[in-house]
Structure 1
Amino acid sequence: MDDLDRELRGLSAWLETPDAPDVAARVRARLGARRRRRWRYYAAAALVALVVAVLPPGRAALADAVTGLLRFAGIVIATSPDTARPTGSPSPLPGQQPAALDEAQRMVRFPIRLPAQLGPPEQVLVADPDGTGTYRVATLLYRGGTLRVDAFDGRLDPVFQKQANGPGIDWVEFDGDVAVWIGGPHPVSYVDRTGTVRVETARLAASTLIWQEGGVSYRLEGQVTKPEAIEIAVSLA
């Protein structure tokens, strides 16, 4: 391919095309574009080769290694077969308090979007205020609190720390957005704005969809299937 490139570039230097406007320039541009695409391909191939070289074989090992380092939408996701499951009742998130929807909107920096699939929330919570009284997290509760949508300022990282036991963590895509789906119960604890892990908030979470959109990060959690969760996420307005 390199020899062909050199020959075509040499040909473009003396090529005369009186009936076509600046074909030589277009040939050079096409060759440049092809070289850039090939460079990206080689870089991607090298990255894949590096990952394969340093990871033990098996899809589960690859998933464990990737999710063990992954920070997505302000959330740290890790897999660990021996992660202890939380016991007892978790304490609320720091500074958590109920608020009317319009009041909650004034208390956070981001727009609170409601899922049309679920309608108005039964309860709204805000949590983790800063020194100015601006809150970091807004939570919409449905179905007696068994289904929740957490929204938080995606510019702050991390927020929720998860340990998911075994397989069941998948990448999904909807409306051009990439999301993470955790298809079963998993321990979850909160990492506050100072980076402190709030172990006392740890609880056993249901299936969860995590994504980021417009600088805001979202967690949809409850007894829902992956298609149901995606439908709810897509209906955010």
Structure 2
Amino acid sequence: MDDLERELRDLRAWLETPEAPDVTARVRAQLAAPARGRRRWRYYLAAALVALLVALLPPGRAAVADAVAGLLRFAGVTIVTSPASAPPSRTASPLPSQRPAGLDEAQRAVRFPIRVPARLGPPEQVLVADPDGTGRYRVATLLYRGGALRVDAFDGQLDPVFLKQSSAAELVTVHGGFAAWVAGPHALTYVDRAGEVRVETARLAASTLIWQAAGVSYRLEGDLAKAEAIEIADSLG
């Protein structure tokens, strides 16, 4: 909770909200209050600040991750906004226990619905990766354009699944909800079920859009402009 409190304090400067001055004032007052009696309010403040950010920050705000001390955690993806000291190559080992599967087979192998973007149509190939002890897989990947365009789907609500390292992230909207856009090449690494960063999976990822829909997390990666990526995400069936 100490990390959460520090991140919430860093967000105070973003809460310039003429439309809701009373709410902002109350949140700021709680953040500045003495430690005694404040702990029980931390969860309420976290929820309030997330709601304020989603509702009030303008789409396209650059470097949103800087507001949380260089760290943005969203939809099962952790984005660190400091440049990598040694960028990985564009090739990497597959995700843990990754294998191809038909779309119907992949749907039976995961615990979440696999939705296909109408803008892209049926995938050329489907992969599943990282099974648990019951044989249910954690990540499903839809591949397009010879593998140059991919949609990763996973339940990332509780534990991190991917770690990104980029100089900036940008706040955008998908289906009217919060999403994160990371433009240009950036380091990407898989985080396994035990929370370990799988260094052997590190690679240089293309521009990526990250969002959630119906409790499922998605990352769309490829040589895409931001507007095209959002159109694809909005077409999710």
* TM-score scaled by length of structure 1: 0.74
2: CA distance between counterparts of 1:38 and 1:183? 33
Partner of 1:76: 78
Aligned alpha-carbon RMSD (Å): 2.4
List structure 1 runs of 4+ shifted beyond 3 angstroms.
44-50, 59-65
The residue that corresponds to 1:232 in the other structure is: 232
Partner of 1:42: 25
Residues 125-136 of structure 1: pairs in structure 2 closer than 5 A = 125-136=127-138
* 1:150 matched residue in structure 2: 152
Provide the residue aligned with 2:106 in structure 1.
104
**CA displacement 1:56-87 (0-9 Å, x = unmatched):** xxx98874352633210011100113432013
Q: Which residue of 2 aligns with 1:116?
A: 118
The residue that corresponds to 2:210 in the other structure is: 210
Larger Rg: 1
CA deviations on 1:77-126 (whole Å, 9 max, x unpaired) are 00113432013731110010000000000000111000000000000000
Is the Cα–Cα contact under 8 Å of residues 94 and 127 in structure 1 kept in the other structure? Answer: yes
SS at match of 1:232: helix
Instruction: Tell me the residue number matched to 2:195.
Output: 195
Q: Which has the higher contact order (CA 8 A, sep 6+)?
A: 2
Using the TM superposition, name which of 126-135 and 74-83 deviates more.
74-83
Distance 1:62 1:108 in 2: 32
Q: For 1:230, what is the secondary structure of its paired residue? A: helix
CA distance in 1, matches of 2:118, 2:225: 17
* Aligned amino acid, residue 135 of structure 2: G
Cα deviation code 1:111-142 (max 9, x no counterpart)? 10000000000000000100000000000000
Q: In the alignment, is the contact (CA less than 8 A) between 1:73 and 1:212 conserved in 2?
A: yes
Aligned runs of 1:167-182 on 2, under 5 Å? 167=168, 169-182=169-182
- Judged with a 3 Å threshold, the aligned counterparts in structure 2 of structure 1 residues 139 and 80 are, in CA distance, closer, same or farther, namely same
Q: What's the offset of the Cα at 1:227?
A: 0.5
Aligned counterparts, 1:78-93, within 5 A = 78-87=80-89, 89-93=91-95
Match of 2:14 in 1: none
Offset of residue 40 of structure 1: 2.2
Unaligned runs of at least 5 residues, structure 1: 1-36, 51-58
Q: CA deviation at 1:173?
A: 1.1
Q: Please give the alpha-carbon distance, in whole angstroms, between the structure 1 residues aligned to 2:163 and 2:222.
A: 17
CA contact (8 A) 2:62 2:170 kept: no
Work out whether residues 124 and 139 of structure 1, in 8 Å CA contact, stay in contact via their aligned partners in 2: yes
Report the Cα distance in structure 2 between the residues aligned to 1:147 and 1:92, rounded to whole angstroms. 16
1:64 to 66, 72, 77: 66
Measure the CA separation in 1 of the matches of 2:66 and 2:144: 32
Cα gap change, 1:143 to 1:80, in 2 (>3 Å): same
What is the rounded CA distance, in whole Å, between the counterparts of 1:69 and 1:158 in structure 2? 13
SS of the aligned residue for 2:135 comes to coil
Kept after mapping to 2: 8 A contact 1:180/1:211: yes
Structure 2 counterpart of 1:24:
none
Corresponding position of 1:26: none
Distance 1:107 1:60 in 2: 38
Q: Using structure 2 for the length normalisation, give the TM-score.
A: 0.74
Q: Which runs of 5+ in 2 are unaligned?
A: 1-19, 34-60
